[in-house]
Protein backbone atom coordinates (compact mmCIF):
# COMPACT_ATOMS: atom_id res chain seq x y z
CA UNK A 1 0.00 0.00 0.00
CA UNK A 2 2.80 2.42 0.81
CA UNK A 3 4.36 1.93 -2.61
CA UNK A 4 0.99 2.52 -4.26
CA UNK A 5 0.45 5.66 -2.20
CA UNK A 6 3.90 6.88 -3.23
CA UNK A 7 3.08 6.30 -6.89
CA UNK A 8 -0.16 8.24 -6.59
CA UNK A 9 1.62 11.08 -4.78
CA UNK A 10 4.33 11.21 -7.44
CA UNK A 11 1.83 11.25 -10.29
CA UNK A 12 -0.31 13.91 -8.63
CA UNK A 13 2.78 16.07 -8.11
CA UNK A 14 3.10 16.54 -11.85
CA UNK A 15 6.90 16.33 -11.84
CA UNK A 16 7.10 13.03 -13.74
CA UNK A 17 7.83 12.83 -17.43
CA UNK A 18 5.30 11.13 -19.67
CA UNK A 19 7.44 7.98 -19.73
CA UNK A 20 7.83 8.00 -15.95
CA UNK A 21 4.08 8.51 -15.56
CA UNK A 22 3.38 5.54 -17.83
CA UNK A 23 5.79 3.34 -15.87
CA UNK A 24 4.27 4.49 -12.58
CA UNK A 25 0.77 3.80 -13.88
CA UNK A 26 1.76 0.29 -14.99
CA UNK A 27 3.38 -0.48 -11.63
CA UNK A 28 0.33 0.90 -9.85
CA UNK A 29 -1.93 -1.38 -11.89
CA UNK A 30 0.13 -4.40 -10.78
CA UNK A 31 -0.03 -3.31 -7.14
CA UNK A 32 -3.78 -2.75 -7.33
CA UNK A 33 -4.26 -6.26 -8.72
CA UNK A 34 -2.20 -7.70 -5.85
CA UNK A 35 -4.32 -5.79 -3.34
CA UNK A 36 -7.52 -7.03 -4.98
CA UNK A 37 -6.32 -10.64 -4.79
CA UNK A 38 -5.40 -10.26 -1.12
CA UNK A 39 -8.76 -8.64 -0.36
CA UNK A 40 -10.62 -11.46 -2.11
CA UNK A 41 -8.72 -14.04 -0.04
CA UNK A 42 -9.85 -12.28 3.13
CA UNK A 43 -13.43 -12.10 1.84
CA UNK A 44 -13.37 -15.85 1.20
CA UNK A 45 -12.17 -16.49 4.76
CA UNK A 46 -15.02 -14.39 6.11
CA UNK A 47 -17.50 -16.37 4.01
CA UNK A 48 -16.48 -19.62 5.68
CA UNK A 49 -17.09 -18.36 9.19
CA UNK A 50 -18.55 -21.09 11.34
CA UNK A 51 -19.96 -19.56 14.47
CA UNK A 52 -17.21 -17.49 16.10
CA UNK A 53 -14.37 -19.52 14.59
CA UNK A 54 -12.66 -18.48 11.37
CA UNK A 55 -11.66 -21.50 9.32
CA UNK A 56 -8.33 -20.80 7.61
CA UNK A 57 -8.14 -21.46 3.90
CA UNK A 58 -5.14 -23.02 2.21
CA UNK A 59 -2.62 -20.23 1.76
CA UNK A 60 -0.52 -20.35 -1.43
CA UNK A 61 3.15 -20.87 -0.63
CA UNK A 62 4.12 -17.58 -2.32
CA UNK A 63 1.81 -15.65 0.04
CA UNK A 64 3.62 -16.97 3.12
CA UNK A 65 6.17 -14.48 4.43
CA UNK A 66 7.88 -16.99 6.70
CA UNK A 67 7.27 -14.83 9.76
CA UNK A 68 4.96 -17.12 11.71
CA UNK A 69 4.59 -15.91 15.28
| 65 within some domain | no
Report how many domains make up the chain.
1
| pLDDT at residue 47, rounded to an integer | 73
Residue span of the structural domain in which 27 resides: 2-50
Contact by Cβ (8 Å): 27, 7: yes
Question: In angstroms, what CA-CA distances link 20 with 7, 10, 12?
Answer: 10, 10, 12
| 10 within some domain | yes
Length of the chain: 69
| 62 within some domain | no
Mean pLDDT of each 10-residue bin along the chain, 69 residues long: 89 90 94 93 76 62 48
| pLDDT at residue 65, rounded to an integer | 47
Amino acid sequence: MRELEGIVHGMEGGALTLEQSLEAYQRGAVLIKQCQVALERVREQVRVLDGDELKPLDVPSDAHSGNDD
